[in-house]
Amino acid sequence: MSAYWIAVASAEHVRRGRAAGFMQVNHGKAAPLRRVKPGDGIVYYSPNTVLGEKDGLRAFTAIGIVREGEPYQGDMGAGFTPFRRDVAWAKAEEAPIKPLLDRLDFTMAKSNWGYQLRFGLFEIGDHDF
């Protein structure tokens, strides 16, 4: 049975991963990626366009299915080798979260729904996927 996940990263980082066919979370940590399995669904939420800038994007920016294989390290240069997983990304447009707040199980009737986004990766139900 597949699981579904929301990962959190800036839209700029998500675009780089989509272009190269991978995902990474929590600044490249391996442990969260080990929870994600081949066949699982991934949705990226981007609070901002660029890491460190607060432009208030607050949108879903990618959706895909995790490919076969284990987490692996990629080389970003300067000794930074974050862990990644390969993903088959679907064609999708960015979708602002605000119009969806009352329709998603993980946000509905929850004033503090954004708290779980701080974890960088969390499981959601198939309805929200």
Which residues are within 8 A (CB) of 116 and not within 5 positions of it... i.e. 6 or more apart? 106, 122
User: Contact at 8 Å (CB) between 35 and 6?
Assistant: no
Residue 47 inside a domain? The answer is yes
Strand partners, 112: none
Structural domain span for residue 61: 4-124
**In this structure, what CATH number is given to the domain that contains residue 20?**
3.10.590.10
**Which 8-state DSSP code applies to residue 11?**
H
Residue 129 inside a domain? The answer is no
- Rounded to whole angstroms, the Cα distance separating 94 from 107 reads 18
Alpha-carbon dihedral angle through residues 46, 85, 20, 45, given to the nearest 10 degrees: -10
Residue 117 inside a domain? The answer is yes
pTM of the model: 0.92
Tens-binned pLDDT, residue by residue, of the chain (129 aa)? 799 999 999 999 999 999 999 999 998 999 999 999 999 999 999 999 987 788 889 999 999 999 999 999 998 888 899 999 999 999 999 999 999 989 999 887 777 788 888 889 999 999 989
